[in-house]
Structure 1
Amino acid sequence: MQSTATATVARPIDVVWATLTDHEGMANWGPGMSVTIDEPGSPERNGLGAVRRISAPGPAPAIVEEVVTFDAPNVFGYKARSGVPFPGYSGEVRLTSEGTGTRIDYTLNSSASFPPVKLALAAVNQVLLRLLVKAAAKA
């Protein structure tokens, strides 16, 4: 199952890219989140192969994700290693310059076939996109 959310932010693509790929900086725009790099990417710390651990307050386990696509400044993709309730969970963000702004296409995927999963993915997708847009707008 797949869910895509789209927004345009009035910031240049390089600013949006820098915000999106600063894993530890996610703590600045994700309410209550703590993000650490368990394994740095190569050749860039936040790039291909990086493993990030996203922790939130409360009893939920940390989400561990691996960067599987890193094509600056246009495509960033990750897959969950653990901590998410959706089987086969992955995400991809595509950035496209639009004038002086940036179009953000954020897609979440899951291998689940149970129809309510699509609704849950869509809800999560909207929340993540709104957070990213707010963070990019402030950058």
Structure 2
Amino acid sequence: MRATSTAVVPSSPDQVWAVLADHEGMSSWGPGMKAEVTTPGTAERNGVGAVRRISAPGPAPAIVEEITRFEPGHALGYKALGGVPFKNYRGEVLLTPEGDGTRIDWTLSADQRVPYAEKAALKGVASGLLAAFVRAVKKS
């Protein structure tokens, strides 16, 4: 199953990328989240192979993700290594120039085990992540 949320922001792809590729900066735009890079990427600290740990307030386990795609100004992909309720959870964020701004497509995918309920939850997560990210981009 897949869920995509889309927004257009009045910032260049490079400006949007600067916020997106700063994994530890997620702490500033995810309400109550703390993010840290626990393993640096192979070619770049935040690039492919980097592992980030995202802790949320409350008793939920930390989410651990590995960066699987890192194309500056264009695309970031990741997969969950632990801490999410979805099987084979993956995310991809694509940046596309649009007019004087940037179109952001945030897609989440996972294996579906429970019809409809998981799809709605995945869509909610994609929408929430995108909304928080757009606020951060507009502040930068």
1:69-119 Cα offsets, whole Å, 9 max, x none, are: 111111100000000000110000000011220000010000124221100
The CA distance in 2 between the partners of 1:137 and 1:42, in whole Å, is 30
User: What's the counterpart of residue 65 of structure 2?
Assistant: 65
One-letter amino acid matched to 2:132 = L
Tell me the residue number matched to 1:19. 19
Q: What is the percent sequence identity of the aligned residues?
A: 56
Match of 1:107 in 2: 107
Q: Is residue 88–residue 112 contact of structure 1 (8 Å, CA) maintained in 2?
A: no
Structure 1 unaligned segments of length 5 or more: list them: none
Letter in 2 for 1:5: S
Uncovered stretches (5+) of structure 2, i.e. residues with no partner? none
Written as runs of structure 1 = structure 2, the 5 A alignment for 1:44-59 is: 44-59=44-59
Instruction: Supply the RMSD in Å over aligned alpha carbons.
Output: 0.7
Q: Distance in 1 between matches of 2:40 and 2:109?
A: 24
> When the two structures are aligned, how many residues end up with a matched partner?
139
Letter in 1 for 2:133: L
For residues 135 and 94 of structure 2, the distance between their equivalents in structure 1, rounded to whole angstroms, comes to 17
CA distance, structure 2, for counterparts of residue 22 and residue 42 of structure 1: 16
